Structure 1
Amino acid sequence: MSTSFSRKRTGVIAGIWVIFIFLNIVGCAKKIPHTLVPAYGEKQVRLIAVLPVTDRTNHPEVGKILRQEIAEALYFKQYPKIPLSIIDEKLAIFYPGVKEPTVQTMPPRDAGAILGVDAVMYIRIEECNSRFVYLYAKSYLNASFELYDVRSGELLWRTRYTATGRDFNIVPEWLKMDAVALYSEVIDEVVKKVMDTLPDGPGL
């Protein structure tokens, strides 16, 4: 009788520990460091234009994919989708020589007036590289993000994240040739972590 009771008590204690560990893990899954303006919801940000990526590392294919995925992520956060091609076409008319806009070369108010949006997002790839060791490749991506109100020029949101990933292929040359596959893991991680810090939009 006592043995049965002891087993039940042990099972209960084990169950409690499992729940405790689970809650502890969930609690540790915090958002990455970021800056968010107080009362963001009162800013009435609905239309966000994702500007071309500023790339300090000469990886245009990575910047292109990163921008596309950020635009898609905004849509799933209830911000209306603005085709990137339309953004580029409009900006090219007024800023033909600016391929990688910054706050200095293309101020938020000017970009907003051209595009007719509520906010503009600047993306900058700080570091992007890969290392190959026989059948493995290690990729690294560090990118920063800033969102500005086009009416006031105020910084609404800012964050930065670094991700690393590994890939494997029995043909080493393929790893070097397929840059999209090599960086897809780190791009996905960066987008997920970054967008978790931005509040949802007002709806489509």
Structure 2
Amino acid sequence: MRQNKPVTLVLLMFLVLVVSGCASTQQPHDYSAYRSHMPRSVLVMPPTNDSIEVGAPYVYLSTITRPLAEAGYYVFPVAVVDNFMKQNGLPTPVEMNAVPLDKIRSIIGADAVLYIHIEDWGQKYKVISSTTVVKARAKLVDVVTGSTIWEGTAQAAEGSGDGGGGLIGMVVAAAVDQIVDSSTDRVHGLSSVANHGMVLNTRNGLLLGPYNPEAVADTRGR
């Protein structure tokens, strides 16, 4: 693993800004419900999965904690939560996602739950090129009211062999190159890029949480 972290973070944040700018025609998220039920802690459910890659949920899960923590939230350790649920008779993400919110609140004590559904994942091969794709939908749900206080999409794609992709493609490729080396599955790095773009998007991403010192300057929804 390369250790050029400052370069990696710069590339990731530049990608967030590029994606945010390209999405400027979209309506900004309504943060009123989010502000009314501002969470301090987030439990991330293992993702449900529509892709053909059976290992996608847990690869994705390994890349979501960091951006959530950087945004300013306490994130329950995903491996501990997954193991706890399996030991209590819930062996699959589908069953885990069906746990009632009142149980999550009383047993685990989370303020909000992040539910994730993977729509597309992995490498798509063509004759002389391939494309690596990550696409997932996420929603943040308040455990007290059951209301969805935020929704977002984690999406990134990187092509090889066709020289295309434009500015965003070049930024994605550069960011992934900083995250992975030749022995690492590139989709893991792409998932990290996609999640940073979703969570830290200054237009439609998560509000900065209480553990981020810059939260007071986040005026979205006020």
TM-score of the superposed pair, with normalisation by structure 2:
0.63
C-alpha displacement at 1:41, in angstroms? 3.0
> 1 CA distance for matches of 2:143 and 2:100?
9
Tell me the residue number matched to 2:208: 200
Note if contact 1:37-1:157 (Cα within 8 Å) is conserved in structure 2. Answer: yes
* Structure with larger RCO (C-alpha < 8 A, sep 6+): 2
C-alpha displacement at 1:37, in angstroms? 4.3
C-alpha displacement at 1:88, in angstroms? 1.6
Paired residue type of 2:120: E
Tell me the residue number matched to 1:140: 133
Note if contact 1:34-1:160 (Cα within 8 Å) is conserved in structure 2. Answer: no
Tell me the residue number matched to 1:162: 155
C-alpha displacement at 1:42, in angstroms? 3.5
Tell me the residue number matched to 2:105: 112
Distance change in 2, residues 1:26/1:159 (3 Å): closer
Give the unaligned 5+ runs of structure 1. 1-24, 169-177
Paired residue type of 1:77: A
Distance change in 2, residues 1:128/1:26 (3 Å): closer
Paired residue type of 1:62: A
Paired residue type of 2:58: K
Note if contact 1:62-1:180 (Cα within 8 Å) is conserved in structure 2. Answer: no
For each residue in 1:24-43, what CA deviation from the matched residue of structure 2 results, as whole angstroms up to 9, or x when unmatched? Answer: x8983546777554152332
Note if contact 1:90-1:114 (Cα within 8 Å) is conserved in structure 2. Answer: no
Tell me the residue number matched to 2:188: 184
Instruction: Name which of 66, 74, 97 aligns with 1:72.
Output: 66
> 2 CA distance for matches of 1:130 and 1:65?
14
> 1 CA distance for matches of 2:78 and 2:194?
20
> 2 CA distance for matches of 1:181 and 1:122?
24
Runs (4+) of structure 1 moved beyond 3 Å?
Answer: 25-37, 101-104, 133-136
Tell me the residue number matched to 1:47: 41
Tell me the residue number matched to 1:7: none
> 2 CA distance for matches of 1:35 and 1:137?
34
Distance change in 2, residues 1:37/1:91 (3 Å): farther
C-alpha displacement at 1:136, in angstroms? 3.7
Higher Cα radius of gyration = 1
Q: Which moved more, 1:181-190 or 1:137-146?
A: 181-190
Tell me the residue number matched to 1:56: 50
Distance change in 2, residues 1:167/1:47 (3 Å): same
Identical aligned residues as a percent: 19
> 2 CA distance for matches of 1:104 and 1:188?
22
> 1 CA distance for matches of 2:187 and 2:116?
17
Give the unaligned 5+ runs of structure 2. 1-17, 162-181, 213-222
SS for the counterpart of 1:157 is strand
C-alpha displacement at 1:155, in angstroms? 0.8
Q: Which moved more, 1:26-35 or 1:128-137?
A: 26-35
Superposed CA RMSD:
3.1
Paired residue type of 1:146: K
What is the number of equivalent residue pairs in this alignment? Answer: 170
Distance change in 2, residues 1:198/1:112 (3 Å): same
SS for the counterpart of 1:75 is helix
